Structure 1
Amino acid sequence: MATYTDLYQVDAFTETPFNGNPAGVVLDAGQITPDIRQKIARELNCSETAFVTQTGQTTFRFRYYTPETEVDLCGHATIATLHTLHEQSGLTGEILVNTNVGDLPMRIEADGTAWMRQAAPQYRDIDETTKSRILDSLGLTKDELDANLPFGLAFTGLWDIMLPLPTRQSVHALQPNFDALAKVSKQLGAASVHIYAFDPVDQQSTLHTRDFSPAVGVNEDPHTGTANGALGALLVHHGVLKPGQFIFEQGWSIGRPGHILVEVTPDMQVFVGGRAVTTITGRLRLS
C-alpha cells in the first residue's frame, strides 16, 4: 500500500504568488530517510526544501536540502516553513528549532510574519589573489567595485562571499561563469556569492541584492535569508549601518521581486524575517 505525506510549495519574502523565493515544505518528515529527502528535493527542484519534525509542543527540527545536497541552514525555506506551520496549525509565538548549526529561536507573529534568529555572526577576509578569481568569474575588474564597502566573507549559519557594486544596474548586468564561481566558492567554504548595492528600487528598502549559489547547485537564488542576514551583520560590524531593522530587496533580476526583513541588535544578534504565501498544496507519494 502506498504511503503519503502532505507537501507544500511556498513563496517566501512576498505576499504575492509567483514572486519571492519558492521553497518546498514537508511538515511530517520524521520517518523520511536522508536519501528520500534528497530525491524529494530533486523532484521539487526548488532551491531548497525543508523537512520538519515536531519534537515537543514548541520545539522542532528543520533540515534543508537543495536539489543536489543537504545544507545546514536556509533563510527563505525557514520563513516558508514557519508560514506553513502558522497556516496549517495556527502556531504563533516563540519556538525553538534545532538545525545543523544549533538550536535557533524563532517567532511567528499573529499576522503570520515569521522571524528566525540566525547563528552568531563571524567574518573572514579574502586574500587579493582569491578576490581577483572571484571578480574574473563575474566578468568584473577591481575598479568596478564600490571600494567604500566591505568585500569579504560573513557567516550567520552559512559562509557567503559579500561583494559590493555601485548601482543595481551593475548588479543586474552580471553574467557569471558559474563553473568558475562554484570552484572558488567551494574552496572558500562559501555557499554563495552575494552581490549588493545601496541603490534599491523601493524607497523603503536599504539596499538591493543578488545571489549566486552554484557551489550548492543553485546558479541564482531569488531570495537568500541567511546571506542577507550575514550581510546586515557585516555592514553593522564595519560601521556602514547602525544596529536596527532594515529591508533588503532581492529577486528583481529574475522577475521574482520581494523584501527580506533584517534586524541586527546592538549586541550583534541577527534576525531575518518576512511574509510568505502558499502556492501549491498536495500529497507526496513516498512508496
Structure 2
Amino acid sequence: MPTSIEVSQVDAFTETPFCGNPAGVVVDAADISTDIRQKIARELNCSETVFIEQLETRRFKFRYYTPETEVDLCGHATIAGLHTLQAQFGISGEIVAETNVGGLTMRLEADGTAWMRQADPAFRALDEDMQRAVVNALQVREEDLDAALPFQLAYTGLWDILVPLRHLATLQELAPQFDRLATICRQLGAASVHVYTMETVDQEATVHARDFSPAVGVNEDPHTGTASGALGALLVHTGVVEPGSYVFEQGWSVGRPGRILVQVTRDMEVFVGGKAVTVFRTQLRTS
C-alpha cells in the first residue's frame, strides 16, 4: 500500500473552475485497498471519487465512492476521470471502462469533450401512494407537478426517481425533507430523486434539474450524469422528445452552474457528455 497517493479534483460539466460538479480522481489505483479508497473519498468529500486502474491499452476499471459508500456508476466522476486520462496521458478516441454495471464504451474527443455510454435503459412505474410520498417529502403541491411529463423510475446504470414540475421557480425554491427522501430511495432501490422542469435558464437547453441523493450521503448533487441519462431515455421512451442530442441544465441552485450533454439514439443507446477542468492535483498522505 503506497504511503502517498496522487489525487486530483476535477470540475465536470463545465470549463470554468468552481462551477459544474467536483469529483475526486485517483489514477493507478490497483494497489489501493477498499478501506483506503473509502477514506480518500471521505477526505475529499466530493459527492463521488473515481478510482481508475488500467487493465489493457484501451481498457480501464472505474470504481466510484461517495463519502459514505461505493456506488455502481457515476456520470460526473466518469467525465472527470476521462478528462484526467486525456490531460495526463494524452488518451483520446474510444476506450472501455469496466464498471460494476458492466463494460461501457467511452469516447474522448480532441476538443476535450468526454462521452460516457450509459447502461441499457429500463423503466418502472411509481404507484400513486409512492408518488404522493415523494411529493410530500419534496414539500410541493400536487398542482406543482407537470401532468404532461413522466413521473416514474428510470435506469441507465442507477435507478432514479424522476419528478416533473411545471415551473422553474418552484424547482429553485425546493426545500426537501432529506430523511424522508432517503427512506423512499432505500425502499425503491433508487440512488436519487431527480426533479426536473422543461422551463430553463438558457433557451438552448431542454431541461433544468436538481438531484437529491441523501440515501447515499449526498443531499444535493450539483450535476448528475447518470440521472440525466436516465431522464433523457425516459423522455424519448415516453415520446416527450425525439431521439437526438440535448442540453440539460443543473447546478444553479448550489451556485455551480453547468450543462450536461445527453444523446439518445433511435436504438435507445444513451450517452452523457461534457467537458471538465482540473482544479487541483496533489499528494495525499495515507500513513
Shift of 1:135: 0.7
Residue 66 (structure 1) aligns with: 66
Q: Report deviation, 1:51.
A: 0.3
Percent of matched pairs sharing the same residue: 65
Q: For 1:93-146, what per-residue CA distance to the aligned partner results, in whole angstroms no more than 9, with x for missing partners? A: 000010000000000001111000000000000111111111110112222100
Q: Which residue of 1 aligns with 2:182?
A: 182
Q: Which residue of 2 aligns with 1:139?
A: 139
CA distance in 1, matches of 2:84, 2:125: 38
Report the Cα offset of residue 2 of structure 1: 6.6
Q: Which moved more, 1:98-107 or 1:133-142?
A: 133-142
- Alpha-carbon distance between aligned partners in 2 of 1:3 and 1:66, rounded to the nearest angstrom: 22
- The 1-side partners of 2:6 and 2:45 are apart by 17
Question: TM-score, with normalisation over the residues of structure 1?
Answer: 0.99
- Inter-partner Cα distance in structure 1 for 2:193 and 2:144: 16
Contact 1:27 1:52 in 2 (8 A): yes
Equivalent residue, structure 2, for 1:268: 268
Matches within 5 A, 1:133-212: 133-212=133-212
Matches within 5 A, 1:177-256: 177-256=177-256
The 5 Å alignment of 1:25-174 reads 25-174=25-174
Displacement over 3 Å in runs of 4+: none
Judging changes above 3 Å, is the alpha-carbon distance between structure 1 residues 241 and 254 closer, same or farther for their aligned structure 2 residues? same
The residue identity in structure 2 corresponding to 1:119 is A
Q: Whole-Å Cα distance in 2 between the matches of residues 196 and 210 of structure 1?
A: 7
* CA distance in 1: counterparts of 2:53 and 2:34, whole angstroms: 13
| 2:56 partner SS | coil
The count of residues paired between Structure 1 and Structure 2 equals: 287
Per-residue CA deviation, residues 196-248 of structure 1 (Å, 9 max, x unaligned), is 10111112111101100001100000000000000000000000000000000
Q: Deviations over 1:13-52 (max 9, x none)?
A: 0000000000000001101111111111001000000000
For residues 141 and 168 of structure 2, the distance between their equivalents in structure 1, rounded to whole angstroms, comes to: 17
Structure 1 unmatched ranges of 5 or more:
none
Q: Which amino acid aligns with 2:272?
A: V
Q: Where does the alignment leave 5 or more consecutive residues of structure 2 unmatched? A: none
Q: Deviation digits for residues 53-75 of structure 1, max 9, x if unmatched? A: 00000000000000000000000
Whole-Å Cα distance in 2 between the matches of residues 152 and 136 of structure 1? 16
Q: TM-score, normalised by structure 2?
A: 0.99
| Amino acid paired to 1:173 | E
What is the CA–CA distance in structure 1 between the aligned matches of 2:32 and 2:2, rounded to whole Å? 14
The worse-fitting range, judged by mean Cα deviation, of 140-149 and 112-121 is 140-149
